[in-house]
Amino acid sequence: MTEHWICPDRMFDGTEVVSGMSLRIQGGKITAFSTEAKDGVRVQGCLSPGFVDLQVNGGGGILLNAAPTRATMAKIATAHRKFGTVAILPTVITDHPDVLDQAADAILAAMGDVGIIGLHIEGPHISPARRGTHEAAFVRPMDDRTMAVVARLRAADVPVMITLAPEAATAAQIATLADQGAVVSIGHTDGTAEQIEGAIAAGVSCGTHLFNAMPTLQSRAPGAVGAILNAGVHFGIICDGHHVDYRMIQLALRAAAKPDRAFLVSDAMATIGGADHFDLYGRPVHLKDGRLINTEGNLAGAHVTQTEGVQRLVAHVGVPLDKALRMAVTIPAKLMGQPQLSEVVNRDISDLIMLSDDLSVSALAGHLTGSHGALNAAE
């Protein structure tokens, strides 16, 4: 097998950004790296594993809920790959129980497809008071039907994240989900700090889009935000400049009881790689000044990519690049039991990205064309 070497200016190795690395390419894959200087192709920028996003409602002009099929998941994954995200959890939100069943069938068929690493079930077992854009008619307490769906997926070794409110599920139900290997995440909750702490003791290990769809942090009522940060569990956060003030993200990152627990999510809707409007529950949502607004005037998901999230973490929140990349790659990958997604070696070139000085993203393969065309993924 033909061997080639490339020498990027910098490389994110899953933990930190390092310099002076040379990487060997064989058969369209990175097969080794060396700290010794090699006679290889010089590549400008920072090489990194592609981004991992654990909350992706849609993309390419379609929502998973609108058509919960394997083809829809593929279309969404393709739309986000153009922006540097190479692994997603397609996310099915609160809806009729049949929609969840169809999404479960779809993910069982889609496992192994490019970019699909599991399913995020967000709702319907949430607080009516904190439902956000989720349809009130479908909000309900945890039931046997959802429990059976999660059990079926975990029996097939499908990674699952399930967002619920502790007031909508019993401690026993939470414990069962966690024991099955699902990542149980608190979100869309009006619960007290004591309720959140009880759910964490039962098996919750994550918080969904911290600050959003949960009570505000107060001096005598820490609520979900305070309980999640104090417990040191993982939490996702949206960094689009609309959902959470940058100063609150700074505060959360400093306040988390354990390091490297925060991870970046897009909460992206159909508009990523699609038109500037779509229907949700049969009602229009449109993009205005970077915000997705429903007919009630509320935020309805986000119009942001992981690339933009990383850029904002660095430029507006003041996060060092290596930490921002851990939040967009390593932490979510490991949380879902997919540590290989944070590695460079043994990865296809198509799963690696190049970051320019302004942190815009391009595909590694695109840097290896021309006189070195043999180095691209079609090698």
The string of DSSP letters for 333-348 reads HHHTT-GGGG-STT-B
Q: What does the alpha-carbon distance between residue 244 and residue 35 come to, in Å, rounded to a whole number? A: 40
Co-location of 294 and 357 in the same domain? no
Using alpha carbons, select from 140, 104, 101 the residue that is nearest to residue 123. Answer: 140
The residues that bridge with 287 in the sheet, in sequence order, are 292
Look at residue 326 in the predicted model and tell me its pLDDT: 98
Overall number of domains in the chain: 2
Co-location of 273 and 328 in the same domain? yes
Co-location of 63 and 36 in the same domain? no
CATH of the domain at 219: 3.20.20.140
Co-location of 281 and 364 in the same domain? no
Using alpha carbons, select from 309, 311, 279, 306 the residue that is nearest to residue 292. Answer: 279
Co-location of 65 and 43 in the same domain? no
Co-location of 337 and 351 in the same domain? no
State the distance between the two ends of the chain, measured CA to CA, in whole angstroms.
Answer: 10
Co-location of 300 and 228 in the same domain? yes
| Predicted confidence pLDDT, tens digits, the chain (379 residues) | 788 999 999 999 999 999 999 999 999 999 999 988 788 899 999 999 999 999 999 999 999 999 999 999 999 999 999 999 999 999 999 999 999 999 999 999 999 999 999 999 999 999 999 999 999 999 999 999 999 999 999 999 999 999 999 999 999 999 999 999 999 999 999 999 999 999 999 999 999 999 999 999 999 999 999 999 999 999 999 999 999 999 999 999 999 999 999 999 999 999 999 999 999 999 999 999 999 999 888 889 999 999 999 999 999 999 999 999 999 999 999 999 999 999 999 999 999 999 999 999 999 988 886 534 445 443 4
Q: Containing H/E element for 196?
A: helix 193-202
Range of the domain at 37: 4-48+344-375
Co-location of 223 and 233 in the same domain? yes
Co-location of 122 and 26 in the same domain? no
CATH of the domain at 360: 2.30.40.10
> Which residues are catalytic, by number?
267
Q: What does the alpha-carbon distance between residue 304 and residue 241 come to, in Å, rounded to a whole number? A: 10
Q: Phi first, then psi: what are they for 78, rounded to 5°?
A: -65, -40
Co-location of 81 and 35 in the same domain? no
Co-location of 338 and 365 in the same domain? no
Q: What does the alpha-carbon distance between residue 41 and residue 315 come to, in Å, rounded to a whole number? A: 30
Co-location of 27 and 66 in the same domain? no
